[in-house]
Structure 1
Amino acid sequence: MSTSTKEKRVVAVVGATGRQGGGLVRSILEADDGFAVRALTRDPESPQAKELAALGVELVVADLDDARSVEAAFSGAYGAFCVTAAQEHPPERERAHAATMAAAARAAGLAHVVWSTFEDTRAFLPPGDERMPVLHGEYRVPHYDAKGASDAEFRGVPTTFLRTAFYWENLLDGGGPARDEDGVRRLALPLGSARLPGIAVADIGRCAYAILRRPDLAGRTVSITGENLTGAELAAAFADVLGEPVRYEDVPLEVLRSLGIPQAAELANMFRFTQDFETAYAGARDPAEVRKLHPGLLTFRRWLTERNPR
């Protein structure tokens, strides 16, 4: 018999209708072992929010631009999952949202917060280093740096700093193997020979849930990955699953930069960081250690097979 909702520890989930938060929501619902979800949403009438409501999830209207609404949403909860939406907001707004969540967690006296973050890449480069041009006035990889810089907001709150990795889903959302004019499939990535830490989005949610069940991890940084694979290894996995050859093609970073748009410049910097600081970035993410936290962690081949990209 499942524990009643009143007896469960409530986790307020930011981004519950998105990828990472949604993965955590599903993990909590599937486990049904002592935690309950409080989903924060700006629009309770959205299809995603209605789907959660149909599953019995508590919905709370909150907006990260409205500090009082976030404080109310966190009030009375055991813990929270905090994440910002880099794809929707510029870095300064991400940082403002992080500060709002941290302040709300502090005010609510939450016992455990999981903050989805990344390395601040600026800490790896000496002043004047031009390998990764400055963007938005002060950042190198804005969607990493804004999160890394916001870690300080959560100091003093019982927080686990969950450093995530590249979504494998990106490889099926327009970033995967494309057939060239000769009919050959090619996986084009600006990786050089470096290993790319990658993970299934669902596994981020599962790792977050495993962390919430481990109060001893508060105050620690947990860096996760499903596998750290080179471009050639990613291509080989695609070839096995697709049943035809897939060639890895290294895209020079200058090709990305030549597109002249902010997103391309940020991606070029991100992949430069991946290449030049592989030891620190991929090296901090050990699948064997992550599997101790989440034994069901998917390998790339297994994830790809389950997604059936044919």
Structure 2
Amino acid sequence: MIADKPILVTGGTGKQGGAVLKHLLEQGAPARALTRDPASPKAVALASQGVEVVQGNLDDPESITRALEGVRAVFAVQDPWSHGVPAEIRQGKMLGDLAKAAGVQRFVQASVAAANVSTNLPHFESKGTIERHLQSLGLDVTAVRPVLFMESLLERFEPKAVYILELLRRGLRGKSVQLISVDDIGRVAAEALLENRTDRPGLRGIELAGDELNFNQIVETYARVVSRRPKVAYLPMIVIFLLGRKPYSSYRWMGARGWHYDLASLRAERPWLSTFEMWLRANTGN
């Protein structure tokens, strides 16, 4: 039976892949995780939860082909930061090609909101390139398009990352930014992988946002929930460019153009979407 076939999740030891696996397991779906190192603590933990962990990487077509054997669906996520945007595009296209050749029925791609508009942000536009390639293959593709991760904000509140918090403050310039939790992304992706419908070749996009706050509101919410104000290092622009030009460029785009999805409509469809405060309380023990 199709339901007995596993779902392949790339990036299973990462944030998005891990969230997808969590929700697949909650639904009792058989899952297979692709990882470079099956002996890593995160991979071992996945195996202990019933995930089939297989060795491979997105630059090795032979290992991907083996991982695709007998699967019914794929969740794909690539990392533009570790190996660069060209590698991200190459990996995304190759995985799609190999999934098509393996007869995979459903393909869910981790993308980004605004993937198919001109942003001058290579790590955004690369995802649009991957989406269009997957569409050209005639696969049944769902592109999950999230806004800024709430998890990335929590990392910025750590004392060692105070300069990154300043990048966000300077980039937004008083404007608000839309936010989404990775756990919510994982839930939506798992639903897309498991939904019972007639396969339809083509591409559909699911835009995801759960909250919208400006920098001061983000800081005040954090201080209220955690009972500690985060430190912000006020840096001159030359230092900002030297330390983090890429993230600053992203935040600058978010402040200047950004995302403007109708949160009420999104929540009407998915009432469980987390606000930033809800997410903080669930993930900081407060």
The residue aligned with 1:306 is: 282
For the residue of structure 1 that corresponds to 2:142, the secondary structure is strand
The residue aligned with 1:233 is: 217
Alignment match of 1:74 (pick from 65, 68, 73): 68
Change (3 A) 1:57 1:245: closer
1:57-84 Cα offsets, whole Å, 9 max, x none, are 1122221111122122123211110000
Change (3 A) 1:258 1:116: same
Change (3 A) 1:83 1:8: same
Instruction: Indicate conservation of the 8 Å contact 1:291/1:297, yes or no.
Output: yes
Alpha-carbon separation, structure 2, partners of 1:221 and 1:251: 38
Identity value in percent: 28
For structure 2, the residue ranges without an aligned partner over 5 or more in a row are: none
The residue aligned with 1:142 is: 122
Instruction: Indicate conservation of the 8 Å contact 1:226/1:297, yes or no.
Output: yes
1:139-191 Cα offsets, whole Å, 9 max, x none, are x323212222221221121101111222212222234689x9xxxxx996221
1:91-133 Cα offsets, whole Å, 9 max, x none, are 11111110111111211222211101125679436xxxxxxxx
Change (3 A) 1:199 1:177: farther
Alignment match of 2:147 (pick from 165, 170, 186): 165
Residue 195 of structure 1 deviates from its aligned partner by: 2.1
Alpha-carbon separation, structure 1, partners of 2:253 and 2:72: 36
The residue aligned with 2:226 is: 242
The residue aligned with 1:111 is: 105
The residue aligned with 2:43 is: 49
Residue 47 of structure 1 deviates from its aligned partner by: 1.1
Instruction: Indicate conservation of the 8 Å contact 2:23/2:190, yes or no.
Output: yes
Alignment of 1:115-194 (within 5 A): 115-118=109-112, 123-124=117-118, 140-155=120-135, 156-175=138-157, 189=169, 190-194=171-175
Give the aligned CA root-mean-square deviation in angstroms.
Answer: 3.2
The residue aligned with 2:8 is: 12
Alpha-carbon separation, structure 2, partners of 1:177 and 1:200: 22
For the residue of structure 1 that corresponds to 2:139, the secondary structure is coil
Change (3 A) 1:76 1:268: same
How many pairs does the alignment contain?
A: 277
Alpha-carbon separation, structure 2, partners of 1:228 and 1:213: 29
Counterpart amino acid of residue 275 in structure 2? T
Counterpart amino acid of residue 147 in structure 1? K
Change (3 A) 1:6 1:210: closer
Alignment match of 2:257 (pick from 277, 286, 290): 277
Instruction: Indicate conservation of the 8 Å contact 1:177/1:188, yes or no.
Output: no
Counterpart amino acid of residue 151 in structure 1? E
Alignment of 1:188-267 (within 5 A): 189=169, 190-214=171-195, 215=197, 219-243=203-227, 255=237, 258-261=239-242, 264-267=244-247
Change (3 A) 1:59 1:6: farther
The residue aligned with 1:137 is: none
Alpha-carbon separation, structure 1, partners of 2:73 and 2:267: 23
Alpha-carbon separation, structure 2, partners of 1:22 and 1:224: 18
Alpha-carbon separation, structure 2, partners of 1:63 and 1:210: 25
Counterpart amino acid of residue 275 in structure 1? G
Residue 258 of structure 1 deviates from its aligned partner by: 4.2
Change (3 A) 1:266 1:56: same
Alpha-carbon separation, structure 1, partners of 2:168 and 2:140: 41
Alpha-carbon separation, structure 2, partners of 1:113 and 1:162: 11
Larger radius of gyration: 1
Change (3 A) 1:233 1:86: same
Task: Give the alignment's TM-score, normalised by structure 2.
Answer: 0.84
